[in-house]
Structure 1
């Protein structure tokens, strides 16, 4: 296996694990837990889920499915954002499914890691990468971004619930 395939496989393992743990957390929460935030300056799980879904849309769904970027990033962080537990679960699953699908696409042709998927698209908004970024740089940024926010989700859930139950399989 070459280094490109190894990198892609490592990212697939990482995102599949993040999806599993994040969905397990959301399953253990109440509707109130989803929208609760520690203080007025902190994000709720609803905010974090909306943001993860927004990132998957603007950074991957736009290139994988040629869907225009319709993201409203400010709305993702509105204090008091309402989202049901079912919506939080579904949006989380959708976001991870999009990310994993893109990695599986890259896995079929690892040379795409050095491609510039945004080069001929409108200027990126709300992104830590620019239109000249490579697919590799995009996915490295996504690993950092998604892991950061799933960690926040788990932390907020632990504040609300104390002990969380984990299914290891």
Structure 2
């Protein structure tokens, strides 16, 4: 395998891994909340967990699917924040899971040329690689917000890494 293809596969695999981790954490949060709590806002200038999930679906679709696959951008960003009901917890999670799966598939299927091509999204000029990085970090950013709001609502540790020893030191040799 040539180095370019190896780098592409490693980038896509790692982005997918990080997206799966965020999805896993969001599921843990949503499972602990009531249908009412997922729509509850901490205050008027903040978003509910449901709104954040709708926002993530819109952002991932715009940057990670439509842009990478050269599809029409049909995102209605403002609706992601103004919607106040209409989805159950199960429907929200299914929508997020399906969106993440579709984005990972778009990343994997994109030829190297498409990952290097510059494109305009939301007024920004990024390559496909830039869009993958954006999708991954944006998902992670809002996962942290969802986790914080869940901790506030539940007043308990979420146990994201309960079965992992996070105090293990880095190994200095190559694996």
TM-score calculated relative to the size of structure 1: 0.79
Aligned pairs (5 A) from 1:4-153: 4-63=8-67, 67-78=71-82, 81-82=84-85, 83-106=87-110, 109-110=111-112, 112-116=114-118, 118=119, 124=121, 127=122, 129-130=124-125, 133-153=126-146
Supply the distance in 2 between the matched residues of 1:96 and 1:18 (Cα, whole angstroms). Answer: 10
Q: 1:157 aligned to 2:150?
A: yes
What count of residue pairs does the alignment treat as equivalent?
157
How much has 1:135 moved relative to structure 2? 0.7
Pick closer, same or farther for the CA change 1:168–1:84 going to 2, 3 Å: farther
Q: CA RMSD in A?
A: 2.5
Supply the distance in 1 between the matched residues of 2:114 and 2:29 (Cα, whole angstroms). Answer: 34
Supply the distance in 2 between the matched residues of 1:77 and 1:52 (Cα, whole angstroms). Answer: 11
Highest CA radius of gyration, 1 or 2?
Answer: 2
How much has 1:14 moved relative to structure 2? 0.9
On the 8 A contact 1:57/1:95 being kept in 2, the answer is yes
TM-score calculated relative to the size of structure 2: 0.76
How much has 1:21 moved relative to structure 2? 1.5
Question: Hey, what does 2:173 align to over in structure 1?
Answer: none
Show CA shifts across 1:42-77 (max 9, x none).
Answer: 110011001001112222332466643222111111
Specify every segment of 5 or more residues in structure 1 that has no aligned partner in the other structure, as ranges.
none
Specify every segment of 5 or more residues in structure 2 that has no aligned partner in the other structure, as ranges.
165-175
